[in-house]
Chains A and B, each alone.
Chain A
Amino acid sequence: MEEKLLGIKNNAISLILETKSPKELEEIRIQFLGRNGEVTQLMKDLPKLSKEERPKIGIVANNVKDIIEETIKTREKSLKETKSLHVSSLDVTEPGIKPPLGHLHLVTQAIREITTIFAQIGFTRVRYPEIEWDWYAFTSLNFPENHPARDDWETFFIKQQSDQKKGTVLLTPHTSSGQVREMEKGKFPIKMLNIAKTYRRQSDVSHTPMFHQFEGLVVGENMAISDLKGTLNYFVKSYFGENRVSRIRPYHFQFTEPSFEVDITCGVCLGKGCRLCKEGWLELGGAGMVHPNVLKAGKVDTKKYTGFAFGWGVERVLMMKEGIKIDDLRILYGNDLDFLKQF
């Protein structure tokens, strides 16, 4: 009987706490404490117990009754308070009280996404100097002495005496300057992702003097054009969407042989051709098989290892992503807070 009483108590309490109105509460009261209520009924059975049991169970029963009454009273009070609160001041359409929230720059967001995608296929992110020796930016990458990229109107140079071996000091115009630095670590195979600020001497709607590139470099045994194609297609489908397709075309870069230009299908017409794209395809950036002279400059055993590389603009892939149609790239670094707070 004691167990039965405690069961009734627990059941009553949980029912009371779930009530939503005084009316419901009254129904519960009747169910347990009313003339034919569960507790009242059990108390009527008390005389049937043995003399020894009677006082003990009596105390328990009274306790249960008191607790139920107490719980009902408390619930009654709280229902009243809730009601008054609801009625007088709650307007659920008012703005919530938000903790402060800032915004990360679009370029940071893009870099994070790119890094995460390449991490899935084993690329490790690295960083190398922004102000760099000519050796890493040009000479070791198979640029001849008089190459136009070294012209004053293409690349920014730093006023500093040239080093006999490493040449002039410059603001690196591409993340490819990380290739030989990575090879020099001497740890093979390599799957590097170098993301950094890069600089070129131009400023117009589609160029800013500072921009960002991400460079993939893979050096391993028997790396082939097919491996390059698979890798960049993995990125294209992950970043732009599985309905987009990439292709490679012949191109020319000093530090790769063969060299490619990479295109992806236009996000609007998906390759059919429309007013926004060039015959259905958009240019993404350059890629190629690492030139043997570059591997040699990085002291890589060219009999054992070959490689491929690609270097694309962070801003460029960002612009080509659906939904972000910025007609003047310079707005990215104009730091208008009304712009930055959109993202």
Chain B
Amino acid sequence: MNIKILDSWLREYLKTSATPKKIGVNLSLTSVSVEHIEKYKDDFVYDIEITTNRPDLMSVVGIAQEAATVLPQSGIDATFIKPDLQLPDIHPLKSPELHITFDQKLINRICAVIMEVTIKQSPQYMKDRLDASGIRSLNNVIDITNYVMREIGHPTHVFDYDRLLNHTLNIRESKKGEKMRTLDGKEYALSGGDIIADDGKGEIIDLISIMGTANSVVTNSTKRILFFIDNVDQHHIRKTSMELGIRTEAAILNEKGINPEYAQDALARGIELFEKFADGKIISGIIDLYPHPPKETTITLSEEKINDVVGITIPLSKSKQILTSLGFTVEQQEDKLIVTVPKNKQGDDMQIPEDLIEEIARVYGYINIPDTLPTFSSQAYFHIEKNDFYWEDRVKDALKYCGFTEVYTYPMVSETLYEGPVENAVTIQNPLSDDMVYMRSTLIPSLLKVVKENQDHEIIQIFELANIYEKNGKDLPKQLLKLGGVIHKPHASFLEAKGVIERLLEDLEIKKVDFKQLTDRSGALLSIDKEKLGTIEILDGTTVTFELDFGILLKHATLKKLYHPVSKYPPQVEDLAIIASSSVQTGDLIEEITKQSELIREVTLLDKYQEARTFHIIYQSYDKNLTDKEIGEIREKILKVLKDKFGARLKS
């Protein structure tokens, strides 16, 4: 999250001659990222991004301690002025009545006190500091709660004590359907599992750690306040805040998991400010409910480990100095440091030696670590022919040079774009919109959508290489690479698409692909060794599509080259015009002609006109010159078999 703080506020806890710019650059490189520094009246405001693992730095005091640690590393003088926060030692004979009950799973700590106050305006410097932080000034009492939050880093809250009619706060999880009205007048129905306080009779009087409710907050006529600091389970806060869309500063901080040690600091600082700016007078005892305070932990750190991770030698004395300056207690034992993590630094990110090495290395300065390259390479041997990415590149290039443009479409599609019954679809549970619900089972509808959206182009030839998805029982869905393409132009023909695929297959050295007519004659089914490769489909007179299984292509693609000696004898060529019924397929005719002699090297269809198909036949021998007689014999054989099998004859 980002916080904004004024330079003058920071300097209340940081003594340094560094300019704001210098402070900003040094913090960015070693600690938190100062994204902008802007002028504010005759002051400067820092806009600082603080990562979620460092809620201890989401405050003026936290940043001041960081700056005081990192600036001296660049030779700049800096001292941290630790705030002197003492709770007053007050034990009034008679406290106003207050009953607090809570579930220990929800609450880590509660610090509270009841005070008499006078509502008025805040001093100007406080208004400015809040304004620069992006927080609106309301009145002194509310402003102080926000001021303490920003300065100490723990959110705080005030109730109007006299509006808590039962003098009871019963903190629990909400039930589904419970209603409440927040202080800004908006009404919410809760979904259940939100941390709320009720008044002991069931009426909600606070949305804990997120926002106050209209029935309990301070008004202009408030006389007595309950200053209330609750440290609660962060996950509950995130759930409720996101679900209700209430993103207050308090919620954003609390969902990060603020260390409960700061609750007491916030209480002490708040009391001090209420006394100073709101005629505050304590009328209750100090309440501090802290069922499970954390214990101090220690981490052992060896010099060797530090140097291994960083890549250079950092003297152990230097590491010790850095950690001490950050607030750790450090004891050196030969080549080891025994580091005690103070209670207020404990958290998920302060557990293992690496966490401390990060602290040392960043303050030491990443900029002071040299560049090296690990010299080993991966152990596996590289076989280009078995490398999927090599073939992907080759196929994409082949299509590019056939005039196809590559597209990337989203794999999540709408119900209309999904092919097949959606019950079979791999389905997204939390889609972004109705257009993106199902994981597609074919690329074609997405490609046709692209065609539709580019109608101003007369000729469209596009392709995509991407996954399709299929349910796979209890396992991860199948994710299969497909190569899809569309030819869209006036008089688009099946043979054009087939030609492109044939060209592609030739490039991959894939032979023996079988093209079988689809039963409704709308295209062809392609297979290799009876395994389905894909389809070519004619959609209408202007659109032909194809989709091939890339896995099957990969299985058969090869770089193996076979050498055939070139014949020393010249080929003989002849064209045979054959008349056959249109139900006879050209592929069958070619296959039959080719079979008739080993001397037939190649048979192609030269021309097709009415009932006549002209075949171009090349005869060649490796042993001798072929005589007219020999060729004549083969021709007779061809004509006989074509007549017997297909009722075909030579055109006279």
Binds B, one of A48-56, A71-79, A127-135: A127-135
A97-110 vs B: 1/0 string, CB under 8 Å? 00111111101100
CB nearest neighbor in A for B53: A252
How many whole Å from A306's CB to the nearest CB in chain B?
Answer: 7
How many whole Å from B495's CB to the nearest CB in chain A?
Answer: 16
A230 touches B405 (CB 8 A): no
Looking at the complex, which one of A100, A188, A250, A289 makes contact with B401 (CB distance below 8 Å)?
A: A100
Q: How many residues of B contact A (CB 8 A)?
A: 90
B50-64 vs A: 1/0 string, CB under 8 Å? 011110000000000
* Residues of chain A contacted by B462 (CB below 8 angstroms): 335, 337
How many whole Å from B499's CB to the nearest CB in chain A?
Answer: 12
A337 touches B400 (CB 8 A): no
Known: A124-B380, A124-B382. A336 touches B454 (CB 8 A): yes
A209 touches B436 (CB 8 A): yes
How many whole Å from B595's CB to the nearest CB in chain A?
Answer: 35
Known: A102-B401, A159-B428, A249-B28. A225 touches B235 (CB 8 A): no
A192 touches B352 (CB 8 A): no
Known: A102-B461, A159-B428, A252-B349. A333 touches B402 (CB 8 A): no
B378 at interface, CB cutoff 8 A: yes
CB nearest neighbor in A for B466: A197
A82 at interface, CB cutoff 8 A: no
Task: Give Cα A222 to B242, complex, Å.
Answer: 42
Task: Give Cα A335 to B462, complex, Å.
Answer: 10
B408 at interface, CB cutoff 8 A: yes
How many whole Å from B299's CB to the nearest CB in chain A?
Answer: 13
Task: Give Cα A252 to B32, complex, Å.
Answer: 10
Binds A, one of B108-116, B148-156, B367-375, B629-637: B367-375
Task: Give Cα A209 to B427, complex, Å.
Answer: 15
B31 touches A102 (CB 8 A): no
A169-206 vs B: 1/0 string, CB under 8 Å? 10100000000000000011111100001000111000
* Residues of chain B contacted by A171 (CB below 8 angstroms): 428
Task: Give Cα A158 to B472, complex, Å.
Answer: 13
Looking at the complex, which one of B309, B457, B474 makes contact with A225 (CB distance below 8 Å)?
A: B309
How many whole Å from A195's CB to the nearest CB in chain B?
Answer: 9
B430 touches A156 (CB 8 A): yes
Binds A, one of B172-180, B189-197, B356-364: B356-364
A102 touches B376 (CB 8 A): no
Task: Give Cα A104 to B397, complex, Å.
Answer: 8
* Residues of chain A contacted by B242 (CB below 8 angstroms): 151, 153
Task: Give Cα A332 to B436, complex, Å.
Answer: 17
In the complex, the 7 A-B pairs of residues with the closest C-beta atoms, listed nearest first: A100-B403, A122-B377, A224-B311, A226-B311, A258-B358, A252-B51, A230-B371
Could you show 29 A-B contacts with beta carbons less than 8 Å apart? Answer: A101-B401, A103-B400, A104-B400, A107-B408, A124-B380, A129-B476, A129-B479, A131-B469, A131-B477, A131-B479, A148-B52, A156-B428, A157-B430, A160-B477, A171-B428, A187-B380, A209-B412, A223-B374, A225-B309, A225-B366, A226-B312, A226-B371, A250-B30, A250-B358, A251-B33, A252-B53, A258-B358, A259-B358, A333-B408
